[in-house]
Amino acid sequence: MMSARPHWRSGNGRRPDLWAVVAIVLLASVFPVDLFPGGPHGQHGADGQFSGKQGQVLLVNLPIKGQPTEIVGRFLSRRVPFFQGASGPVGLLGIDMQDAPGTYELSVDVTDAQGGRRLRYNVLVSKEKYPVQHLTLPKDKVDLDDESLVRVKAEQEQVKTALEEVSPERFWEGGFIEPVHGTISGAFGRVRIINGQARSPHNGEDIAAPLGADVLAMNDGVARLTVDHFFSGKGVFVDHGLGLYSMYFHLSDITVQNGERVKRGQVIGKVGASGRATGPHLHWGVRLNGARVNPYALLTLPVGGTLSARQ
């Protein structure tokens, strides 16, 4: 057993200022440059713990030379895949929006020509403050009838099965982009109290935009699942590889097919109000190895210190 300190930075996933330029990152691990050229080797407290808030994404750059034959990371009950960057193995660790605050271990099993060993790191998860919305609605607008309930449960199982598939290939390259320009609601993590009862937290971000506006893929991937569901309406699930998925809901039209390879910035649908939506907007969600993370956390990962203007 051995312990080593990786190079870390975190994306805070905060709501961008609508009137300012939002910096996004070109993930330098894709290009032949150091992930942290001339910069510090990570930010940590006096106790050596690395930290991130609920819904954030941490980038892990392992201090390993060469190319190991196998690297398997585990955080809580989730698997953390690694890929080969210019400076060594790199992984994206997602902190779920409801991971309980506390200190947890990230274990990384490394197999190379010298054999196997395990690296261990402590990750301090802190609480994010999410908005709370209280609503009073007619009962028939909240409670589902038996037929609708059966449909919703079947759709939930369909999505669960699709997201459990982890493609061993990394499809995404470079920086991630916002799928549509519009008014960002800051709804990620929002808890709705409807008629006095707490509902499931909002696991994506809502972006209000004109009906029919183009919705772009946030990065390269495969259109793994296209749906027309009760709550989310018409939607597309894009598999970016290594357990990273993006979701685009309430579309008025879908312009890709299941299994189709898509490129970063490609139009995959149109903004709509399908499903349970009160007006045209895009629900943009991201799952990272099963963790529900703020999609804007990917746009703000400070990797390599190289920033570009909002796209």
- Mean pLDDT of the chain, nearest integer: 80
Domain locations along the chain:
7-128+298-308, 132-296
pLDDT of residue 195: 80
Calpha distance 251→268 (Å, rounded): 10
- Identify the DSSP state of 306: -
Q: Which residues contact 156 (CB under 8 A, 6 or more apart)?
A: none
Rg (CA), the chain: 20
CATH classification of 132-296, choosing from 3.90.1530.30, 3.40.50.720, 3.40.30.10, 2.70.70.10?
Answer: 2.70.70.10
**Of 142-151, 207-216, 251-260, the least confident:** 142-151
Beta-bridged to residue 242, according to DSSP, are none
Q: Which residue has the tokens 């197999």?
A: 111
Answer whether 7-128+298-308 and 132-296 agree in fold: no
The pLDDT of residue 131 is: 85
7-128+298-308: CATH topology is: Immunoglobulin-like (2.60.40)
Contact 298, 276 (CB under 8 A): no
Summarised one tens digit per residue, pLDDT across range 46-79 is: 333 578 999 999 988 888 877 788 899 999 989 9
**Structure-model confidence comparison of residues 247 and 10, the more confident one:** 247
pLDDT tens by residue, 105-153: 999 999 988 788 898 889 999 999 998 888 776 776 677 889 999 999 9
